[in-house]
Amino acid sequence: MTLTNDDDGEKPITTLKILIIGESGVGKSSLMLRFVDDTFDPEQAATIGVDFRVTSMLVDGNRVKLAIWDTAGQERFRTLTPSYYRGAQGVICVYDVTSRSSFEKLEHWFSEVDTYTTKGDAVKMVVANKIDMAGREVSREEGIKFAKRHRTLFIEASAKTKEGVQCAFEELIEKILQTPGLWEN
Ligand code: GDP
Ligand code: MG
C-alpha cells in the first residue's frame, strides 16, 4: 500500500473523520500541525475553540480525504461531547512519555471512545509522544503492553523531530481502509 500527501486533484473516494484525544499538554495539536503543515511551534498556546483541519492522502492511487479533529482545551475538564466522537472512523489517543499521569489517563480516554463512537468500532492508535525529551517516565514496553491489551495500534513519536508522526497517521488510515463496513458510503 502506498500513501502520499500529494494533491493530484482526484475526487476522494471517501472522507474519514479522525480524532486526536488525550490529556492536556501531551502534544495533540502539535502532532496535528506536524502532520498537516509539517511545522512545530514550541510556543504552541493552548488551543482555543474546537479546531479541525482537512487534508488528504493518496492510498494505492485513491484519494482519501481526512477531517482531523483537535480538542479545544475542553479535555482538561474531560468534557468532550458525544458529537465530537460521532461518526469517527479513527481515533489517535496520545500520551506524553515524560508524564506517567498522562499514560494512566489513557484508560479513561479509551472508555470514552468505546462509549461514544458509532458501534464502538473506530480504529484506535496509541501515540507515545515527546520521545525526543529527557526524563522519560513511561517505557516503550509499557506502551506496547497497554496497546496489546486493548488490541490497538501503537507508535512512539515526536511532534518536534517528526519521528513516527507520518507513520502514525498512515498506519491508522491503512487499518481503517482494511476494515470492511467501517468507511464505505
Ligand atoms: P495539547 O494540549 O495536547 O494540544 O498539547 P500541545 O500540542 O499544545 O503541546 C503542549 C506543549 O508540548 C507545547 O509546548 C509543545 O510545543 C510541546 N510538545 C508537543 N509535542 C512535543 C514533542 O514531541 N517534543 C517536545 N519536546 N515538545 C513537544
Ligand atoms: Mg491542543
Report residue 11 as a C-alpha cell. 475526487
d(CA 45, CA 92): 20
Q: Is residue 168 within 6 Å of ligand 1 at its C-beta?
A: no
Residue 1 has pLDDT above 60, yes or no: no
Report residue 129 as a C-alpha cell. 509522544
How much distance in Å is there from the Cα of 45 to the middle of ligand 2? Answer: 8
pTM of this prediction?
Answer: 0.92
Residue 16 has pLDDT above 90, yes or no: yes
Q: Is residue 130 within 6 Å of ligand 1 at its C-beta?
A: yes
Q: In 87-112, which positions are buried (b, 16+ CB within 10 angstroms) versus exposed (e)?
A: ebbbbbbbbbbbbeebbebbeebbeb
Look at residue 47 in the predicted model and tell me its pLDDT.
59
Q: Is residue 74 within 6 Å of ligand 1 at its C-beta?
A: no
Nearest ligand atom owner, CA of 49: 2
How much distance in Å is there from the Cα of 28 to the middle of ligand 1? Answer: 7
- Residue with the smallest CA separation from ligand 1 atom 20 is 27
Q: Is residue 30 within 6 Å of ligand 1 at its C-beta?
A: yes
Q: Is residue 26 within 6 Å of ligand 1 at its C-beta?
A: yes
Task: Say which residue, 60 or 105, is predicted with more confidence.
Answer: 105
**What number is the ipTM of this complex?**
0.99
How much distance in Å is there from the Cα of 26 to the middle of ligand 1? Answer: 6
Residue 48 has pLDDT above 90, yes or no: no
Q: Is residue 76 within 6 Å of ligand 1 at its C-beta?
A: no
Look at residue 78 in the predicted model and tell me its pLDDT.
65
Task: Say which residue, 83 or 95, is predicted with more confidence.
Answer: 95
Q: Is residue 166 within 6 Å of ligand 1 at its C-beta?
A: no
How much distance in Å is there from the Cα of 174 to the middle of ligand 1? Answer: 26
Taking only the tens place, the pLDDT of each residue in 121-152 is 799 999 999 999 999 999 999 999 999 999 99
**Residue 46 to residues 24, 61, 107, 115, Cα–Cα distance (Å):** 8, 37, 23, 26
d(CA 112, CA 42): 29
